[in-house]
Amino acid sequence: MSTLTKILILLLTVSSFILCGIVVTYVGTADNYRQKYDDLRADRDSLSKKVKSLNKQVNEKIDQAKQLEDKLNSEMTAMRVEIGEVQGQLKDAEREKAGLLQKVNSWASIVEDFSETNDKQGQLLKNTLEELNEVQAEQIKQRTQLDETTVALVEKMAIIETLEAEKRRLLEERTDLQSRLDEYLRPFGKAAVAAVPVTPDRAAARPAPMPIPAVKDIGLEGLVTAVDMKNSMAGISLGKVDGVKEGMKFHVTRGDEFLCDIVIIDVDAEEAVGVLDLVQQQPRIGDNVSTGL
């Protein structure tokens, strides 16, 4: 046998061993690859199902998000409309507020003027009341003095009447004694001489006649307090305490303009009522009245 043949046989034998080893290795590992393939395929199918499920869920979420977005857009549109309406109402309210503030400022100015006028009127009324109280106090004082003087005068008049009565009694007694003395002396042809008093008789005390005072204008001034044109009558703010008497005539004026006359027919303590005379214009409450023009 040749060397080449031996080499070929050796190579064939080695190749057979190698091939056998490869076959054995392949056979031993074939099942493992199959199992891995099946496992990988199962995992792929499971992952595919999960992907489909996730895609479905994502699509559902996308649809929900779209619906929510549409809803939010609708609500935002409605809110924009509502905001526009509210802004319009706010502008109207601001305009109304500005008008009300202007009215409030105007009324505040009016109230301030009215308060100032009221304070002035209150002070004037207070001063008038103080003057009236002083006048009333003076009148009470004068009335008290008059009452005291009247009481003293009545007492003195009573004393004078008592003295006059005593004087009359004494005169009657003297006359009686004179008559009795004459009767006693007549048979003797004599008569009693009338006694001459050491102190001459004086007339009974009488109040001296009051001198007639000179006439003068008392210059009363007041205001018209009431007007009744239906009965042509009016009231004034003067009365007995001011010296007003029935029949007095007051001239009614407004500024420098003559309106009419008021002839007094009824007088109270602090006011009087009269009829209208020489009416040029209708008088009003607050017009001036005076006894002189």
pLDDT at 207: 45
Q: Which helix (H) or strand (E) holds 277?
A: strand 272-277
Note the Cα 199 to chain centre separation in Å.
83
Question: Are the beta carbons of 236 and 227 closer than 8 angstroms?
Answer: no
Got the DSSP string for 118-173?
HHHHHHHHHHHHHHHHHHHHHHHHHHHHHHHHHHHHHHHHHHHHHHHHHHHHHHHH
pLDDT of residue 250: 93
Q: Which amino acid is at 293?
A: L
Please report the pLDDT score of residue 276 as a whole number.
93
- Fold held by 221-290: Thrombin, subunit H (2.40.10)
pLDDT at 188: 44
For the entire predicted model, the pTM comes to: 0.30
Query: Which whole-number Å values give the CA distances from 215 to 238, 240, 247, in the listed order?
Result: 21, 19, 16
**CA separation (Å) from 268 to 54, 214, 224?**
112, 26, 15
**Within the chain, which residues score under 50 in pLDDT?**
187-191, 198-200, 202-217
Q: How far is CA 209 from CA 206, 212, 213, in A?
A: 9, 9, 12
The sign of the torsion formed by the CA atoms of 283, 287, 292, 293 equals negative
